[in-house]
Amino acid sequence: MQISIVLVVHNHLPYVRGCIRRLIAHTGDHELLVVDNHSDRETVAFLKELEERGVVRHLILNEDNLGYAVACNQAVRLAAHSWIVMLHTDCLVTSGWVARLAAHTAIASDNLRLGAVIPTTNYANEDFPIYDDALKRRFIEYKLPNKSQPTEDDIEIVLRHTYPDGLDSFAASIRWRTPLVYSVDISSFCTMFSKAMFDECGLFDEGYSLRGYEDKDMYMRMRDRGFEVWCAKDCFVHHFGNITSDGEGFCFPEIMGSNRARFERVWMADEGGRDAGQA
């Protein structure tokens, strides 16, 4: 199965390099779409080089930081394949990751409308699919204080502490697990969406500023239309966590508070939901 993979970039070049390096090494047939939300010159130069080499099929360079929802929608409109992975740049994929996510899409049938599949991870907010608490605690012990511009040695220290036998060895060790469980949310760090779901539910709501709650809003629309979300327990993607919301001019608590208020106005006042096109 061919897959479209979307990266939304805003600076943080060390993480972007690591993310794309792992994508190249551990992902089969795919197209890579990158939307840059007004990064610094060094990051943009790196992305342009990838486009010239054919690693990136579509590169969109926005002149301002238009936010995560807008950038994702730009990529979805260009995506050529029936399943689209939204992957944060502070993630490291593992061997066979996309093949395992894609394999689970075969369960879709007349009785199950599969809208999205998510992997497990080491670190995520709220009730997202953490592998286990011990792994999360081990990662947090060495979570990087210099989140924006770590060295490769800094990143390697975190990975060695979190996965003493290696990241790929850990990912391989969980492949025996019960492969698929129902999820009550989507996890924005890495989600494989059905393009048919976007066709029916609409794109991400661009009224959510910069980043935050656009994924929860999409989940609610999916739920209202009868699409289900499943977690692939046999697939693992490392997540450094909160890097994409770190940076100059990005007040994460303020932005999240504003977006949460919008989400509650839209959804909590009327549990009946809303039309997909409503902003």
Tell me if 75 is assigned to some domain.
Answer: yes
Name which of 84-88, 174-178, 221-225 the model is least confident about: 174-178
Domain count along the chain? 1
Tell me if 275 is assigned to some domain.
Answer: no
How does residue 85 score in pLDDT terms, banded at 50, 70 and 90? very high
**Domain CATH number, residue 204:** 3.90.550.10
**Beta strand 30-37 with 58-62: parallel, antiparallel or unpaired?**
parallel
Structural domain for 105, as ranges: 3-267
Question: Other CB atoms closer than 10 Å to residue 60's CB: what's the count?
Answer: 18
Q: Is the pLDDT of residue 204 over 90?
A: yes
Tell me if 272 is assigned to some domain.
Answer: no
pTM: 0.89
Tell me if 47 is assigned to some domain.
Answer: yes
Q: How far is CA 1 from the centre of its chain?
A: 19
